[in-house]
Amino acid sequence: MRFEIEPNNGAPIFEQLVRQIKFAVAEGILVPGQMISSTRDLAKQLAINPNTVQRAFAQLQGENVLEVQRGRGVSVCVDAKKHCVSQRRELLGERMAAVIQEAINSGLGAEQITSLFEQNLKRLSR
């Protein structure tokens, strides 16, 4: 299990972590029922503050993605996958829509936006 944190991304670190854990569950990298690294370990791995990990975990508990096994650690909820799969599409769709909207507002036409998309997709998908 490996996450990519970009500290100067603009997006809060805890939120990056929340999204990536959801995506990992959606993708099947994290399996329902599976125990997750401890808060402290994960913080060490990612070189971030344990409180930040804690905050991400807290939010994920609130969304029934993670649950605490008292005294043992944190695990993925057994029924989290379906939720995460739909969330993945939703979360990515929101960002995608926001970019497209800004491009439209800036005066670009559909073809130009499509070209922008395809160039970047090609560049990144190797």
Partner DNA sequence: GTGGTCTAGACCACG
Partner DNA sequence: GTGGTCTAGACCACC
For helices 13-27 and 80-105, the axis angle rounded to 10 degrees is 120
The piece of 8-16, 78-86, 91-99, 117-125 that touches DNA (CB under 7 A) is 8-16
**Which residue among 34, 49, 64, 86 contacts DNA (CB under 7 A)?**
49
Three-class DSSP category at 12:
coil
39 touches 56 (CB < 8 A): no
Q: How many CB atoms lie within 10 A of CB 45?
A: 14
Burial class (CB in 10 A: 0-12, 13-18, 19+), 43: middle
First-residue to last-residue Cα distance in the chain: 21
111 contact choice in DNA, a copy of itself, none (CB below 5 to 8 Å, kind-dependent): none
Taking CB under 7 A as the rule, does residue 61 contact DNA? yes
74 contact choice in a copy of itself, DNA, none (CB below 5 to 8 Å, kind-dependent): DNA
Q: How far is the CB of 5 from DNA (least distance, A)?
A: 8
Interacting residues with a copy of itself between 57 and 116 (CB under 8 A): 59, 62, 67-71, 88-89, 92-93, 95-108, 110, 113-114, 116
Positions touching a copy of itself (CB under 8 A) are 4, 7-8, 13, 19-20, 23, 26-27, 29, 49, 59, 62, 67-71, 88-89, 92-93, 95-108, 110, 113-114, 116-117, 119-121, 123-125
